[in-house]
Amino acid sequence: MGDSVAEKRKLLNRGRRLRGQVDALERAIEADAGCVQVMQLLVAIRGAVNGLMAEVVRDHIELHMIDPDRIPTERETEAADELASVLHSYIK
């Protein structure tokens, strides 16, 4: 995960945004906000969690599924890309 500085920063930003959304949710519950507002916050949080998951899955595939000590074959790279892409559609 720390293999790429840019990738880590990207995940951290997503993680912080998610925490901000969860803080807002907690405040909304505390302030007796209506059910509808709370549900709308949860819709957004769910999207953020799915987006983070899709991102980490992609990282895992790119950084760990192929041993960093060797060069992946073309078929392996293609299979990894296809899985990351289809999972992104399924999870979101």
Residues that bind a second copy (CB under 8 A): 1-2, 8, 11-12, 15-16, 18-19, 22-23, 25-26, 29-30, 32-36, 38-40, 42-43, 45-46, 49-50, 52-53, 56-57, 59-61, 63-67, 69-70, 72-73, 75-76, 79-80, 82-83, 86-87, 89-91
Say if CB 38 and CB 72 are below 8 A apart.
no
CB of 62 to a second copy, least distance (A): 10
Q: How far is the CB of 48 from a second copy (least distance, A)?
A: 9
Nearest by Cα to 88 from 50, 61, 62: 50
> What sign has the CA pseudo-torsion 72, 67, 57, 86?
positive
| Spatial separation of the C-alpha atoms in residues 70 and 51, rounded to whole Å | 29
Which C-beta is closer to a second copy: that of 2 or that of 6? 2
